[in-house]
A = this chain, B = another copy of it.
Amino acid sequence: MEIRIGDLAKRSGCEVVTIRYYEKEGLLPKPARSGGNFRLYGDAHIERLQFIRHCRSLDMTLSEIRALLGLRDNPMQDCGEVNTLLEAHIQQVEMRVSALLQLKRHLVDLREKCSGSRSVEACGILQGLGNCNCHGESATNSQTSG
């Protein structure tokens, strides 16, 4: 039961180019090839790709996923590392959420500063963006982007 890359893409909800990209990155093993040099995938590939996509839908990085796949490929090990990785990922998500919530409070504050349609020059939003004391004194590099 061998399928081509387009079918694998449909089954996994993953674009064809992305599958080739995962192969290049070493997450998916190189599949067999047909006479015409087309990739041919079997059940193991399908399942592995679904695993990867599931992890991606949980916002894990490819490097985290690589680590999980590595553990999965050595099934005799203790699963403590799996727990550690998951725990670290949960904490990252929590931190990101609280950063975004703080950021949103700030944005909503800013929105209040415009009391209707007037000139850009007088708009409290742009003024608030220019000279702001909401982060403390000087502009800090408290980046939250990722």
Does any Cβ of B come within 8 Å of A5's Cβ?
A: no
Does any Cβ of B come within 8 Å of A145's Cβ?
A: yes
Copies, count: 2
**What's the dominant secondary structure at chain A's contact region?**
helix
Q: Kindly specify which of A19-27, A30-38, A103-111 makes contact with the partner chain.
A: A103-111
Does any Cβ of B come within 8 Å of A54's Cβ?
A: yes
A interface residue count range (under 10 / 10 to 19 / 20 to 34 / 35 or more): 35 or more
**Within A76-95, which residues are at the interface with B (CB < 8 Å)?**
76-80, 82-83, 86-87, 89-90, 93-94
Interfacial residues, chain A to chain B (CB-CB below 8 A):
11-14, 47, 50-51, 53-59, 68, 71-72, 74-80, 82-83, 86-87, 89-90, 93-94, 96-97, 100-101, 103-104, 106-108, 110-111, 114, 117-123, 125-126, 129-132, 135, 138-145
